[in-house]
Amino acid sequence: MVRAKFKVFRKVDQGYCVKVQMAPVYSNDPSSENKKFWDATPSGSLEMYISNKPAADLFEQDKEYYLDFTKVD
C-alpha cells in the first residue's frame, strides 16, 4: 500500500455531478507531516466527477485527505 495526502482545492457542483479537484499537500516546516508528504509527492493532481451527491459531500473545500492506494490482484 502507498499513502498520499492531498487537499481539495476546488469543488464545483455541475448539476448532474460534483467535480472535486485535489493536489498534494505542501509545507516548508521540517517537523510538519505535510512536509514529509510533499517531499515524497511534490506534484500531482486528482480530479473526480462524483454523481452520488451524498458521497461528494464527504469532500470539503480546503480540507486534507489521505489517499490509500492498494494493488488489486
What gap in Å lies between CA 7 and CA 62, rounded to an integer?
A: 6
* pLDDT score, position 29: 92
First to last CA, the chain: 13
Identify the residue with better confidence: 67 or 42. 67
Cell numbers at 51, concatenated:
454523481
Reported as a pLDDT band with limits 50, 70 and 90, residue 53 is very high
